[in-house]
Structure 1
Amino acid sequence: MSTIFWVILVLLIVNTVGAIFTVLREVRDISTTWAWLLVLILLPVIGFGIYLFAGRGLSAKKIRLIQGQYSDGIGNFLGLQKRENARNHLLPEADLGATSKEMINLFLNSDQAPVLSHNQVHIYTDGEQKFAALFRDIDAAKAYIYIEYYTIYNDKLGNELQRHLMQKAKEGVEIKVLYDAWGSLGATTKWWKQLTDLGAQVETYFSSRHLFTDFRLNYRDHRKVVVIDDAISYMGGFNVGDQYVSRDPKFGYWRDTHLRIIGDTVQALKIRFIMDWNATVATQRQLPYHVALPEQRTSWAHETPVQVVASGPDSTKQQIKMGYAKMIASATESIWIQSPYLVPDDTVFDALVSAALAGIDVRVMIPDMPDHPFIYRATQYYANALTRAGVKVYHYQNGFLHAKTVIVDGKIASVGSANFDIRSFKLNFEIVAFMYDRKIAQQLQAIYTSDLAHSYLLTDEMIRKQSRWLTFKQQFSRLLSPIL
């Protein structure tokens, strides 16, 4: 027995030393460091397998590759910025108040993202309607179609997308598709062959180029962007797959938020796609950086100023999280949030609690069903904690809520791919449109209000009735929240 004891003791010591060495090799925030130490020490051997899957950082070479494309593309953003500086005085002062100006400056300094004023924005909350519009726009394309999605499934909707693209490829339209290999299991090279045989180019985003040799959960391309002919763009929460058009019985109705944008912001989204494409493909297949805002523009009765902000693990600034925190801190009346996942870091959590304690109407809406068990339990933990602090937390019951929306004071709103969780803040490549427009903000508020009819308010009594086992799962998942 003593021999077995000493063998186990030595293995535990070796495992602990290995865990400390493994985790401290990379610079991380303290909460993430402790979370990984917990996993590696409590799950000997198995924990290291989990770490290989979900804990490894991006190599310095890959980060330099992305940053190099950012440096090349940013010159075009700066060109847009200089040109728009002369136009921004045309923005309504009611919308471009002190808070808006501060947010604009925040993103100019952190992401060098210009606010582009000449836009028309249409909001989609239903997948069938969104994809019907997208397919109409694809069918009308004359020059190019650039598509970037986290998920493109090999299912009915995915094949429908491919058929529309094949027809345009036959007509000589330039087609480029970028997708995440981990998020699009089943979308193989063989499945894309009919499209690529027609001259289209299809690639998996660089961080997932070889799914099995570069096997990692983190650093996914979570963006959803479509740009067509320098004229039309889409961005938001919908991916491409049957579940996103409410065809999956597991989820039922899929409630999401997506934008169709025409106007100057198309150029900002085009540059973002080119950055991601050029970081993925060989040099000879890279696209030139070029933007061209028209001197003479269509006169619209109403325009929406939009600032497109991207963030990812290639930067430590966490621009989108800073934008959310700034919105929350600047609120004087209301903060309404929708997100499928609610796993904020301490900065965002404290900002929400401070706003609620200051008497601001803080509401957070989350789904009432899981799609990822650990994240769902962590979401429940933070929903309980925020409820106790005075935040109104609503559980959406009419299917699955996947919208990523923030609305402040009915004046400023954001829609994009970033969830309200640590993964979106710093582990994934995300993109969000911040809009300085009362009309759009109030449209999103009206949508939120209609969603309340399908939701219930979490109460202290409901929390007290939760079982000890459920409470334990929530607390344990919360310990892992920095790495979920």
Structure 2
Amino acid sequence: MNDFADFTNRFRIKNSLPGVLTTLILYGVLFLLQFALIFAVGHFLKEHEDLLQGLFFVVDLGVGLHIVNDKRNDPVYKVAFLFTMIVLPMFGAFLYILSKWDIMRRWFSEKFETSKKKNFTYYRQDPEILEETRMEDPLFYNTARFLWNQEDFPIYRNGECDYYPIGEVYWRRMLEELEKAEKFIFMEYFIVQQGEMWDSILDILKRKVQEGVEVRLMYDGTAVLTKLPLKYPKAMEELGIKTKVFKPIVPILSLYQNHRDHRKILVIDNKVAFTGGINLADEYVNLKAPFGHWKDTGITIYGAAVRSFTNMFLAMWDVNADDPESFRPYIMPPEEEYKGKKTGYVIPFGDDPYGKNRVGKEVYNDMVNQAVNYLHIMTPYLILDDETKSDLIHLAHTGTDVKIITPHIPDKKIVFRVTRSYYKELIRNGVEIYEYTPGFVHAKSFVSDDRKAVVGTINCDYRSLFLHFECAAYFYDEAMARKVEADFQETLKECTPFTMDMCMEFNYFQRAAGRVLRIFAPIM
């Protein structure tokens, strides 16, 4: 179609409420049929319990021993699965077996690791830069060395960066940079939803394709349930936009579908990269307000460090490729050819549920353990493992200023209940908790000591730290850290400090519900 408005309207009609409901009902029925089959088998086994009781005991015992001795499991995961097995013995064992030996999960894991290994060969680490960081800050050097030695994410020096304290400004900068594109545009997002924000971006993408710019779009498969029509990729291909859906939802019980692409990446010509908490939907830029004012943040990075985001995108894109490509043409020339400002250091990094390390968790924990004067956190969800909770409490006990901003108006009430269940213990031990009074905080940032900052897509919950594909940038940069801290202080002015008295006002049901839900947080 030549008329962009007609094209947009045509596909909005296809994404009408009846279409969405039909998709949800179809998928729901297919999933329910599979649950019914499982319960039917369970009922059959129950009727023959006397004959199979010994088998049940052996299976539960074997799975239980495996859970306890599996060094890859976080202790809280072990508690969650063991508790489930106590309440629902065979179901709990089945759930754990499915999580570990799911065929679809193993198949995708192998494909992703192959793609990652292939594309990460393009990374290079300048040893001079690593040595500089060792001399400047040995603790930060250790984190940088971990990210390079274990995960192949290099640290960069030549580059410029900027920070956006609200989605509206971030959106405006996206449009400005998209207009400058000459070679390629890569976009990877958790959510893409039709509306004013996406339409403004799509309008530019359409024109850029006509100018000869290569455009690739990838979004998470959960979008087809409520956000986009099933045939939306075909519509994008008609416009000349190469499009892929990450792990399309398949109505088959498989924990493979539990690992979602939560990243937000925009790369333009290998010159600039965007990331942060902002998806491509109207609520992220306050054109809609389902949960009050939406507080979100984002960053841009210019220069050699953009290569890391380019590689992360291409590694993910390559997983679903029928014909693997050579991505060398997309990689930027050597770092010295970019004449950027030397304002500090940055390490773009990614995390995935299949690797040997929980990269986001390791970086966050290093931020906690290395803070001296202050550590300030913004997160939409606060669901902590025992290690991180203990580290935050210990840091507060040392006299370090520890503050955390969470939402006051939640987008997920159950998760909000779990988040609030941590308040009492943290506040009692010196950690200050603030809720963003005007609405919902979706920002994900750590900042400490006017030196270090992490901004990206990683929430402080089990989904982000253990189950999702994520990305972020770790800055050792005074200018950037001061921008993040200034935004934290401005946001604090619109927050309500939570007190012990307020925690005590939670009724018995609220406190009990939060505690019970915490048990299942790792497998929610």
- What TM-score results when the alignment is normalised by the length of structure 2? 0.82
Q: Name the structure 1 match of 2:311.
A: 271
Distance 1:37 1:303, change over 3 A: same
8 Å CA contact 2:434–2:495 kept in 1: the answer is yes
Q: Name the structure 2 match of 1:157.
A: 197
Identity %: 25
* 1:371 aligned residue (400, 411, 414): 411
* Aligned equivalents of 1:11, 1:386: Cα separation in 2: 50
CA displacement at 1:154 relative to structure 2: 2.9
8 Å CA contact 1:267–1:292 kept in 2: the answer is no
Distance 1:328 1:294, change over 3 A: closer
Q: How do 1:316-335 residues align onto structure 2 when only pairs under 5 Å count? A: 316-335=356-375
**Residue deviations 1:435-459, cap 9 Å, x none?**
0011111111111011111111111
CA displacement at 1:364 relative to structure 2: 1.0
* 2:122 aligned residue (54, 76, 84): 76
User: In the alignment, residue 470 of structure 1 is paired with which amino acid?
Assistant: Q
**Greater CA deviation, 463-472 or 13-22?**
13-22
Determine helix, strand or coil for the equivalent of 2:258: coil
* 1:355 aligned residue (383, 395, 398): 395
Distance 1:247 1:38, change over 3 A: farther
CA displacement at 1:377 relative to structure 2: 1.2
Distance 1:285 1:246, change over 3 A: same
Determine helix, strand or coil for the equivalent of 1:420: coil
Distance 1:53 1:134, change over 3 A: farther
**Residue deviations 1:428-482, cap 9 Å, x none?**
1111100001111111111101111111111111111211011111111111122
* Aligned equivalents of 2:240, 2:62: Cα separation in 1: 48
* Aligned equivalents of 1:134, 1:337: Cα separation in 2: 25
* Aligned equivalents of 1:184, 1:458: Cα separation in 2: 38
* 2:79 aligned residue (34, 40, 44): 34
**Greater CA deviation, 286-295 or 250-259?**
286-295
Distance 1:231 1:283, change over 3 A: same
How many aligned residue pairs are there? 470
8 Å CA contact 2:194–2:228 kept in 1: the answer is yes
8 Å CA contact 1:91–1:117 kept in 2: the answer is no
User: In the alignment, residue 83 of structure 2 is paired with which amino acid?
Assistant: L
Q: Name the structure 1 match of 2:269.
A: 229
Establish whether residue 307 from structure 1 lines up as the match of residue 347 from structure 2: yes
* 1:411 aligned residue (444, 447, 451): 451
User: In the alignment, residue 224 of structure 1 is paired with which amino acid?
Assistant: K
* Aligned equivalents of 2:166, 2:159: Cα separation in 1: 22
**Residue deviations 1:208-263, cap 9 Å, x none?**
13443476552111111110011111011101111111133321221111001111
Q: Name the structure 1 match of 2:112.
A: 66
* Aligned equivalents of 2:74, 2:258: Cα separation in 1: 16
CA displacement at 1:12 relative to structure 2: 11
CA displacement at 1:404 relative to structure 2: 0.5
Pairwise CA RMSD:
3.0
CA displacement at 1:269 relative to structure 2: 0.7
**Greater CA deviation, 18-27 or 283-292?**
18-27
**Greater CA deviation, 176-185 or 120-129?**
176-185
8 Å CA contact 1:19–1:41 kept in 2: the answer is no
Determine helix, strand or coil for the equivalent of 1:343: coil
8 Å CA contact 2:82–2:92 kept in 1: the answer is no
CA displacement at 1:147 relative to structure 2: 0.4
**Greater CA deviation, 351-360 or 177-186?**
177-186
Q: Name the structure 2 match of 1:86.
A: 128
8 Å CA contact 1:254–1:401 kept in 2: the answer is yes
* 1:280 aligned residue (301, 309, 320): 320
**Residue deviations 1:390-429, cap 9 Å, x none?**
1111111122101110011121110011111122111111
**Residue deviations 1:163-188, cap 9 Å, x none?**
22122112221111111111564323
- What TM-score results when the alignment is normalised by the length of structure 1? 0.88
**Residue deviations 1:295-317, cap 9 Å, x none?**
433353x5241101211111131
* Aligned equivalents of 1:382, 1:398: Cα separation in 2: 22
Q: How do 1:172-211 residues align onto structure 2 when only pairs under 5 Å count? A: 172-183=212-223, 185=225, 186-205=227-246, 208-211=247-250
Establish whether residue 212 from structure 1 lines up as the match of residue 251 from structure 2: yes
Q: Name the structure 1 match of 2:43.
A: none
CA displacement at 1:287 relative to structure 2: 4.0
User: In the alignment, residue 318 of structure 1 is paired with which amino acid?
Assistant: R
* Aligned equivalents of 2:289, 2:89: Cα separation in 1: 38
8 Å CA contact 1:88–1:117 kept in 2: the answer is no
* Aligned equivalents of 1:12, 1:401: Cα separation in 2: 51
